[in-house]
Amino acid sequence: MERDLEWQYNPMQMSSFLLTQEQADEKNSTLLSELREHVSQLEAENCSLRFEREQLESTSQCYRKELDAHGATVLLLSKQLRGQREAEAHHGAFSLETVKSSAKWLRFYTGFDEYPRLMAFMAFLLDNEREQGSQDRSLHSALSPENQLFLVLVRLRLGLLLQDLAFRFHISESTASRYWLSWIEIMERRMRQIPVAYSQHYIDTFKPQRLLNHQDMSLVVLDCAQLFFEAQGRKQGKSYGPWGPRTRYSVCGYALAAPSGFLTFGAGAGEGLPTLPPFLQPRPVELTVQQETAKRQVLSLRN
């Protein structure tokens, strides 16, 4: 029984087992070699793909730079073209730039014989407007502030109609009317603050003039100009009846001379006088430092 359980050595079986083991090892070695070769190929392909990607990124970056350069060139050309068109339109329009270099024509259209004096006058008018935080008039506006004031001065000097001014400045009639009303209000408000000393001889020789009693004070009204306005849906001063959808009215521009020895400017009807400045008194007054400064400003601007 024990002999039956003992292992019987068989050379043929051992040889077959060893041969099978060698074949398996050889097959595993072949598979491992093929796998290594495949991995090497994949690594080579990956390296090649990385190189191609870097080249594509470099090419894309070059294209982006060229695109940015072309975009900047297009933007510059667009600005130049827009500036050229604006210059051409401006050249065809009547403007301050066309007359500011000629003292003769500047004085003819504005009353100022020098451009710096006109700009000083404009700075004087807008001084309080800027302090009060008024919106910049050059924003979203057809004309610059300088040309807006130029339009108003041209109308004051020559009495041109709004239709004429709109045609000259290449703007709409409603825009010209808006500039006119706005700047006249600024002039009235600013110039009313200026104490201007006068001589009695000047008052006596000025015509036309009339007397006005205001709060127990006798004022001499010097009628300077009759200002005509056109507005839609508004009625101020003396109405001239409807003209199309508009209403025409006039406002008298005047100077008020008080017994204190000073005069100021205003506009409107005599019975509708605005609040008078403090230097218009029934007796002589002494000016404050601020009033003296305003007085020196207007005298330095007088032409």
The two most distant CA atoms of the chain are separated, in Å, by 165
CA distance 104 to 260: 38
Question: In the chain, which stretches have pLDDT less than 70?
Answer: 1-19, 83-92, 128-140, 227-249, 268-274, 297-303
Which residues are CB-contacts of 209 (< 8 A; sequence separation ≥ 6)? Answer: 203, 220, 221, 222, 223
N-terminal to C-terminal alpha carbon distance within the chain: 149
Token pair 């398996």 is found at 24
Q: Is the peptide bond before 208 cis (omega within 30 degrees of 0)?
A: yes
- Write down the pLDDT at residue 139: 42
For 232-271, give one letter per residue: b (16+ CB within 10 A) or e. Answer: eeeeebeeeeeeeebbbbebbbbbbbbebbbbbbbbbebe
CA distance 153 to 36: 94
Token digits of residue 226: 């009759």
- Write down the pLDDT at residue 1: 47
- Write down the pLDDT at residue 119: 93
- Write down the pLDDT at residue 204: 86
CA distance 200 to 259: 10
Q: Does the pTM exceed 0.75? A: no
> Which amino acid does the sequence have at 123?
A
Token pair 């020196």 is found at 296
Token digits of residue 166: 């709109």
> What is the number of other CB atoms lying within 10 angstroms of the CB of residue 193?
16
φ, ψ (nearest 5 deg) of residue 172:
-80, 160
- Write down the pLDDT at residue 268: 66
Token digits of residue 77: 């050309």
Q: What is the domain partition of the chain in residue ranges?
A: 12-87, 95-191, 193-303
- Write down the pLDDT at residue 275: 75
Token pair 């008020």 is found at 256
> What is the number of other CB atoms lying within 10 angstroms of the CB of residue 107?
16
Residue 200's nearest CA partner among 225, 223, 215, 220 is 220
Name the E strands within 55-131. Answer: none
- Write down the pLDDT at residue 12: 63
- Write down the pLDDT at residue 78: 81
pLDDT in tens, 101-138: 999 999 999 999 899 999 988 998 888 665 555 544 54
Token pair 């060698």 is found at 22
H or E stretch at 247 = strand 246-257
Length of the chain, in residues:
303
- Long-range contact list for 107-115, CB < 8 A, 24+ apart? 108/157, 109/150, 109/153, 109/154, 109/157, 109/158, 110/150, 110/153, 110/154, 110/157, 111/153, 111/156, 111/157, 111/303, 112/153, 112/303, 113/303, 114/303
> Which amino acid does the sequence have at 139?
L
- For residue 231, the cross-strand partners are 247
